[in-house]
Amino acid sequence: MARWEPDAQGRLQQAAMELFAERGYAEVTVAEIADRAGLTKRTFFNHFADKREVLFAGAKDFEDSVVAHLSEADSDLAPVDAALHALTRAGQGLAAYGDYARARQALIASSPELQERDLIKTASLTSAIAQALRRRGVPASTSTLAAQAATAVFTAAYGDWISDTAGDLHTRTQRSLHDLRSALSHTPDVDK
């Protein structure tokens, strides 16, 4: 493959995923990823800060999309519903990446280093949602709780969707929200 061919970032991601699948995340170097893609290490670092970022390249774009959708959400929606609306709208494009999502999730599950990065990215998303909710006039403590709840609901729905991409992410998100609301309203029988 010639070094001048377009879509260097996509080629690097594909090469990385192939190598990670073949040998495991920890066993692959940046140089090997670049070589497989027909590019240089310098080109790799023009697109990614490190090899972990290959798996999280779209995180900032997703976060920006969520914030944009949240700013456009109906002002009558409760904070958690507005945040979930934004997450679901931003997540609509994920349906085309079912196989990639499953492979990515398996890699993350196999590596504490990747799990840590996933938590960092999720915390950043949650913080951005909370800030966007505050801009909508939601009190700080409420916006933080709503953002955390919405992120947890969406994460659960996304995990279900990865297991079976035939379903609709919006429906799964609503089901997860229903489950959360059921858990919050459940009153255990203290006499048992």
The CATH code of the domain that includes 120 is: 1.10.357.10
As a whole number of angstroms, the distance between CA 178 and CA 15 comes to 40
pTM of this prediction? 0.87
Tokens of 83: 């945040």
Question: Is 3 contained in some domain?
Answer: no
- Residue 38 and residue 67 in one domain: no
In this prediction, residues 104-109 reach a mean pLDDT of 92
Measured distance CA(151)–CA(143) in Å, rounded: 12
pLDDT at 189 over 80: no
CA distance 24 to 121: 22
Quote the distance between the C-alpha of residue 170 and its chain's center. 15
For residue 2, is pLDDT > 50? no
Residues 71 and 147 in one domain: yes
Rounded Cα distance between 152 and 158, Å, is 10
Q: What is the average pLDDT value for the chain, to the nearest integer?
A: 91
Same domain, 46 and 68: no
Shared domain for 70 and 144, answered yes or no, is: yes
Answer yes or no: is 101 within a domain.
yes
- Whether residues 32 and 109 fall in one domain: no
Among 77, 66, 172, CA closest to 127:
66
Same-domain status, 15 and 47: yes
38: containing domain: 8-54
Residue 163 has pLDDT above 90, yes or no: no
- Report the pLDDT averaged over residues 175-189: 85
Paired tokens of 192: 């048992």
Task: Look at phi and psi of residue 138 and say left if phi exceeds 0, alpha if psi is from -120 to 50, else beta.
Answer: beta
Q: Is residue 190 part of a domain?
A: no
In angstroms, the CA 52 to CA 30 distance is: 10
Determine, yes or no, domain membership for 192.
Answer: no
Please give the tally of structural domains in the chain.
2
pLDDT, position 1: 45
Does residue 172 contact residue 180 with C-beta atoms inside 8 Å?
Answer: no
Quote the CA–CA distance of 47 and 10 in Å, as a whole number. Answer: 10
pLDDT above 50 for 93: yes
